[in-house]
């Protein structure tokens, strides 16, 4: 068995970020698809708690952005 000097293939950046798993929703390949049922359910809960109304026809990316914002507003995003 011979050893190779080639570096292994990797996905994504090797640089550290605050949250390496996070990707900007505007960069999502499926971001323009309708939000998922779980997103809609959770967003409904968050919006009610925050006293806000949101359109029901959001995309996955829009829903994700609202979820993140409302988690901060309601304190549900705190860990």
Q: What is the pLDDT of residues 13-50, one digit of tens each?
A: 555 555 545 667 667 677 689 999 999 999 999 999 99
Instruction: Confirm if 60 and 26 have CB atoms less than 8 A apart.
Output: no
Question: Per-residue pLDDT for 8 more than 70?
Answer: no
Question: Per-residue pLDDT for 2 more than 60?
Answer: no
- The pLDDT score that the predictor gives to residue 77 is 78
Angle at CA 43, nearest 5°, toward 77 and 39? 100
Q: Count the Cβ atoms, other than its own, within 10 Å of residue 43.
A: 21
pTM here is 0.64
Pure H helices in the chain: 37-50, 60-74
The residue count for the chain:
79
- The pLDDT score that the predictor gives to residue 79 is 56
């Amino acid at each position: 068995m011979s050893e190779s000097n080639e570096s292994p293939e990797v996905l994504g950046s090797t640089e550290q970020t605050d949250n390496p798993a996070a990707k900007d929703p505007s960069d999502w390949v499926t971001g323009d698809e309708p939000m998922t049922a779980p997103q809609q359910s959770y967003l409904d809960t968050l919006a009610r708690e925050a006293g806000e109304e949101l359109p029901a026809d959001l995309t996955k990316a829009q829903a994700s952005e609202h979820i993140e914002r409302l988690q901060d507003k309601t304190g549900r995003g705190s860990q």
